[in-house]
Amino acid sequence: MKVLGVLGSPRVGGNSDILLDEALAGAKDGGAQVEKIILAQRKISGCLDCDQCDETGVCAIKDDMTEIYEKILESDAIIHSVPVYFWSMTSQMKAYLDRWCAFFDANWRWHKHIYPRMREKGIAVITVCGDPDVHTADPVVSSFKNTAKFAKLRWIGAVQASAAAKGEIERDQRAKRSSYELGRKAAQKESMEP
Ligand SMILES: Cc1cc2nc3c(=O)[nH]c(=O)nc-3n(C[C@H](O)[C@H](O)[C@H](O)COP(=O)(O)O)c2cc1C
């Protein structure tokens, strides 16, 4: 069992990074092998909608997504962690998510060679927003939840937290605990939420 953590904040050691580490600790304690990718430290361009991947399932852009695609395919579950930027996700996370396009054909079906490696894969998201109302991140959660539903991935769940200053989330025991539990759940293959 491999659990991949994907950090969408450029603030390494910040709030979503802290919660992602909690989740990965939970996954590790649940018996999974874990790995973290910090998107801001990689070069990831936006999708060009060039249609080349429709035929091949291979993205025409040659950047760090080439390696990340393989890590996605190898993992059993992916936990994303991202702060809210202007009522949406960060540009780093959005570029990464848009590049998932290469997994699908022109009819938005999994490419045949991709499907066996994506089937049953778990997907989860952790959000942090400066607003005290954690529901500010609902559109971000919807993006991931709808992606999971559309692609028939295994939805593990979401943790939504609030913090503004770097590292402030350290004081939020509930968010840390929930993230840890999310990670433990990601390490169980049968975990499923409607
Ligand atoms: C460019 C930018 C835009 C932001 N937009 C929002 C926003 O729309 N709503 C919100 O609640 N917080 C917003 N925030 C605050 C961050 O979500 C908050 O500081 C969060 O804790 C950052 O997480 P991090 O430490 O993981 O980077 C914004 C922060 C930045 C830098």
Q: Which residues face 110 on adjacent strands?
A: 104
pTM of the model: 0.97
Instruction: Report the CATH number at residue 68.
Output: 3.40.50.360
The answer to whether residue 191 is domain-embedded is: no
Domain containing residue 56: 2-186
Q: How far apart are CA 134 and CA 89, in angstroms?
A: 14
The answer to whether residue 46 is domain-embedded is: yes
Count of other CB atoms within 10 angstroms of residue 56: 12
Distance 84 CA to ligand 1 centre (A): 5
The answer to whether residue 192 is domain-embedded is: no
| Average pLDDT score over residue span 185-190 | 88
Beta carbon of 87 within 6 Å of any ligand 1 atom: yes
The answer to whether residue 157 is domain-embedded is: yes
For residue 82, the 8-state DSSP code is E
| Average pLDDT score over residue span 147-157 | 96
Beta carbon of 83 within 6 Å of any ligand 1 atom: yes
Beta carbon of 15 within 6 Å of any ligand 1 atom: yes
Q: Cβ neighbours of residue 164 under 8 Å, at least 6 residues apart?
A: 130
Q: Which pLDDT belongs to residue 189?
A: 76
The answer to whether residue 193 is domain-embedded is: no
Q: How many helices (H) and strands (E) does the chain have?
A: 7, 5
Beta carbon of 114 within 6 Å of any ligand 1 atom: no
For 92-134, write each residue's pLDDT tens digit: 999 999 999 999 999 999 999 999 999 989 999 999 999 999 9
Confidence label for 135 from pLDDT (cuts 50, 70 and 90):
very high
CA distances from 98 to 31, 54, 130, 163 (A): 30, 14, 25, 27
Beta carbon of 58 within 6 Å of any ligand 1 atom: no
The answer to whether residue 114 is domain-embedded is: yes
Q: What is the mean pLDDT of the chain?
A: 96
The answer to whether residue 100 is domain-embedded is: yes
Report how many domains make up the chain. 1
For 13-40, write each residue's pLDDT tens digit: 999 999 999 999 999 999 999 999 999 9
| Average pLDDT score over residue span 149-171 | 97
Burial class of residue 80 in the structure, from the number of CB atoms within 10 Å of its CB (0-12 exposed, 13-18 middle, 19+ buried): buried
Residue nearest to atom 21 of ligand 1 (CA): 164
The answer to whether residue 37 is domain-embedded is: yes
